[in-house]
Amino acid sequence: MSDNLLHTPLESVHVELGAKMVPFGGWYMPVQYTSILDEHAAVRQQVGIFDISHMGQIVINGAGAEAWLNRMLANNVAKLQPGQGQYSFLLNERGGVIDDLIIYREAADRFFAVVNASRIEQDFFWLAQHQPEDVALANESDLWAGLAVQGPLAAAVFARLFTGVALPPRNGILRFTHEGQELVVCRTGYTGEDGYEFFSAASHGPAWLKAFVAAGAKPCGLGARDSLRLEMGYPLNGSDLSEDLTPIEAGLGFFVDLEKGDFIGRDVLIAQKENGLTRKLVGLQYLEKGAPPRSHYAVESTDGQVIGELCSGVLSPSLMTGIGMAYLPMEFTKLGTVVNIDVRGRKFSAKVVKKPFYKPAPKQA
Amino acid sequence: MNIPSDLRYNNSHEWVRLEGDVATVGITDHAQAELTDVVFVELPAVGRQVDMGDPTAVVESVKAASDIYAPISGEIIEGNPEVEADPALVNTDPYGKGWIFKMRVKDAAAVEKLMDAAAYQAMIS
């Protein structure tokens, strides 16, 4: 490939499996193999597998790691016991989201962060700029291949491949050795279903993808990944989060700890809490069948004023109705508020609903 | 890939079946396979005059909205209510129940200038 795209170590397997490959965030990635609807259903009902090798891994090590991370991140890493992880944010001084990530504590002074593909360089640069002497940083993003195995049967697939290895509990991390290989498994995902993110040395990635597929996981592309995450109301950085929007505006205040002491962006978040917001991210769901809502479609009040635009939108494969998210002025954010979404000049009525749009069956662990 | 020999094709992957001065239009088997799961079809208004190449209908998959172009000039006389109700027909029966609209053509001879099955086959292979 003589393009400027980055290539995942699993590309040859994707091609072998018949994937349709597309550029995504600077990477050449599978958007689907057979059908987004089938892949989506596989994750909701059985088990699917996604290549997440494009995502980044940053290791933070040292005596000062906990105290420093608590100044760099919005959530409270002091709450994590070794083996536990949490969703968190790297914020700029304006409280805007540089990245949303999951940070795991592996030991008292060692942390493992999994970050968005498109933000690896910004994240690492930002961290390195603020790095104190008693903390070491390593960008391991190129070293790891990543697979997200998701769905009600994900744990059964793991048990088939790793006899005697117990998956960590929800949000947990386990680093283990298997036939001489160092592997990492994190009990998390981006679909709302039970599952885990699995990391191996990049060179071993293709064999692991084949092994998981042979053990029953259906290969799934970014198309299904997007419809699955949006049914859960999970934000996608770059679409639903940006450096100009705070986690409070995104409705993600649950993952911010304003009481833990100072961190970058905290003043802005406190001011928003005290003074109130002017806009907030809401979930919108069509009242009737209609053309699939998509990002950048205008959102209008029922009297025809443009009040915002969709940052994400999709025809929900589980609900078979249009769903989307938009930052709207506060007067339009009350549950049940009806707005119109403009699709090529046609208006489809939608109402503000609580997220998630879709509730998966209860998970184990 | 199914390419019936009795139809005409254009380079934006619509097919045309001409009966008298009425042309039935849909998208090819190749196009439906590329678009994958069709989840929504937006039909043109009956009575609308369209020129060859005008965006006339929209077929949407989960991932993208794709314009369907008029392969010929004329007046829209009917949209297929079945694909509006069950968009997957475009995938399962692209040359049959999955037709999208019918038009009264201005110049039936112009249809002959569109690609035949062999030429369309050559274009997509």
| DSSP labels, chain B | ----TTSEE-TTSEEEEEETTEEEEEE-HHHHHHH-SEEEEEPPPTT-EE-TT-EEEEEEESS-EEEEE-SS-EEEEEE-HHHHH-TTHHHH-TTTTT--EEEEES-HHHHTTSB-HHHHHHHH-
**CB of B58 less than 8 A from some CB of A:** yes
B62 contact residues in A (CB cutoff 8 A): 36-37, 40, 223, 227, 292, 314-315, 317
pLDDT confidence of residue A8:
97
pLDDT confidence of residue A218:
98
Give domain status of residue B82, yes or no: yes
Residues 6+ apart with CB under 8 A from A272: A95, A246, A248, A249
pLDDT confidence of residue A4:
86
Residue A365 has pLDDT above 50, yes or no: no
Do the beta carbons of residue A269 and residue A244 sit within 8 Å?
Answer: no
The owner of tokens 């998959």 is B61
What mean pLDDT do residues B44-62 have?
96
CA separation for the pair B72, B53 (Å, rounded): 7
Mean pLDDT over the full length of chain B: 95
- Identify which of A36, A291, A344 has the shortest CB distance to residue B63: A36
The reply to whether A11 and A42 lie within a common domain is: yes
**CB of B86 less than 8 A from some CB of A:** no
Do the beta carbons of residue B57 and residue B42 sit within 8 Å?
Answer: yes
The reply to whether A49 and A78 lie within a common domain is: no
Give domain status of residue B55, yes or no: yes
B42 contact residues in A (CB cutoff 8 A): 291, 344, 346
Cα B65 to Cα A227, A283, B39, B58, B84: the distances in Å are 15, 22, 10, 7, 15
The reply to whether A49 and A65 lie within a common domain is: no
Q: How many domains does chain A have?
A: 3
Residue B62 has pLDDT above 70, yes or no: yes
The reply to whether A64 and A135 lie within a common domain is: yes
- Identify which of B36, B40, B65 has the shortest CB distance to residue A35: B36
The reply to whether A159 and A209 lie within a common domain is: yes
Hey, CA dihedral for A282, A283, A288, A294, is it positive or negative?
Answer: positive
**pLDDT tens sequence across A112-149:** 999 999 999 999 999 999 999 999 999 999 999 999 99
Give domain status of residue B31, yes or no: yes
pLDDT confidence of residue A57:
98
The reply to whether A114 and A51 lie within a common domain is: no
Proportion of chain A above pLDDT 90, given as a percent: 96
Give domain status of residue A74, yes or no: yes
**pLDDT tens sequence across A281-310:** 999 999 998 999 999 999 999 999 999 999
Identify the domain containing residue A327 by its residue range: 278-353
- Identify which of B36, B42, B58 has the shortest CB distance to residue A36: B36
Residue B51 has pLDDT above 80, yes or no: yes
Give domain status of residue A146, yes or no: yes
Do the beta carbons of residue B18 and residue A294 sit within 8 Å?
Answer: no
CA separation for the pair A114, A55 (Å, rounded): 7
The reply to whether A108 and A157 lie within a common domain is: no
* Rounded (5°) CA angle A110-A115-A120: 105
Do the strands A218-219 and A279-286 form a parallel or antiparallel pair, or are they unpaired? unpaired
3-state SS class at A41: helix
pLDDT confidence of residue A362:
73
Give domain status of residue A41, yes or no: yes
Q: How far is B19 from chain A (nearest CA, A)?
A: 31
Give domain status of residue B3, yes or no: no
CATH of the domain at B110: 2.40.50.100
Residue A259 has pLDDT above 80, yes or no: yes
Q: Which helix (H) or strand (E) holds A319?
A: none
Residue A314 has pLDDT above 60, yes or no: yes
**pLDDT tens sequence across B88-124:** 999 999 999 999 999 999 999 999 999 999 999 999 9
The reply to whether A134 and A210 lie within a common domain is: no
Q: How many domains does chain B have?
A: 1
Phi then psi for A81, rounded to 5 degrees?
Answer: -85, 160
What mean pLDDT do residues A69-81 have?
98
DSSP 8-state secondary structure symbol assigned to residue A108: T
Give domain status of residue B53, yes or no: yes
- Subunit contact B62:A223, Cβ cutoff 8 A: yes
Residue B74 has pLDDT above 60, yes or no: yes
The reply to whether A25 and A153 lie within a common domain is: yes
CATH of the domain at A95: 3.30.70.1400
The reply to whether A204 and A338 lie within a common domain is: no
pLDDT confidence of residue A364:
54
A346 contact residues in B (CB cutoff 8 A): 42
Least confident of A18-27, A250-259, A342-351, B89-98: A18-27
- For an interface test with B, which of A343, A346, A347 has the most B Cβ atoms less than 10 Å from its Cβ? A343
pLDDT confidence of residue A21:
94
Confidence of residue A71 (pLDDT cuts 50, 70, 90): very high
What mean pLDDT do residues B5-11 have?
96
Dihedral angle of Cα A251, A279, A89, A133, to the nearest 10 degrees: -150
A36 contact residues in B (CB cutoff 8 A): 36-37, 61-63
Mean pLDDT over the full length of chain A: 96
The reply to whether A209 and A74 lie within a common domain is: no
- For an interface test with A, which of B30, B34, B36, B58 has the most A Cβ atoms less than 10 Å from its Cβ? B36
What mean pLDDT do residues A158-171 have?
97
pLDDT confidence of residue A361:
78
The reply to whether A47 and A78 lie within a common domain is: no
CA separation for the pair A73, A86 (Å, rounded): 11
CA separation for the pair B100, A295 (Å, rounded): 26
CA separation for the pair A25, A314 (Å, rounded): 19
- Subunit contact A291:B37, Cβ cutoff 8 A: no
**pLDDT tens sequence across A240-255:** 999 999 999 999 999 9
CA separation for the pair A166, A158 (Å, rounded): 9
CATH of the domain at A218: 3.30.1360.120
CATH of the domain at A293: 2.40.30.110
What mean pLDDT do residues B21-44 have?
95
Give domain status of residue B2, yes or no: no
Q: How far is A105 from chain B (nearest CA, A)?
A: 36
CA separation for the pair B46, B51 (Å, rounded): 14
Give domain status of residue B62, yes or no: yes
- For an interface test with B, which of A21, A32, A44, A230 has the most B Cβ atoms less than 10 Å from its Cβ? A32
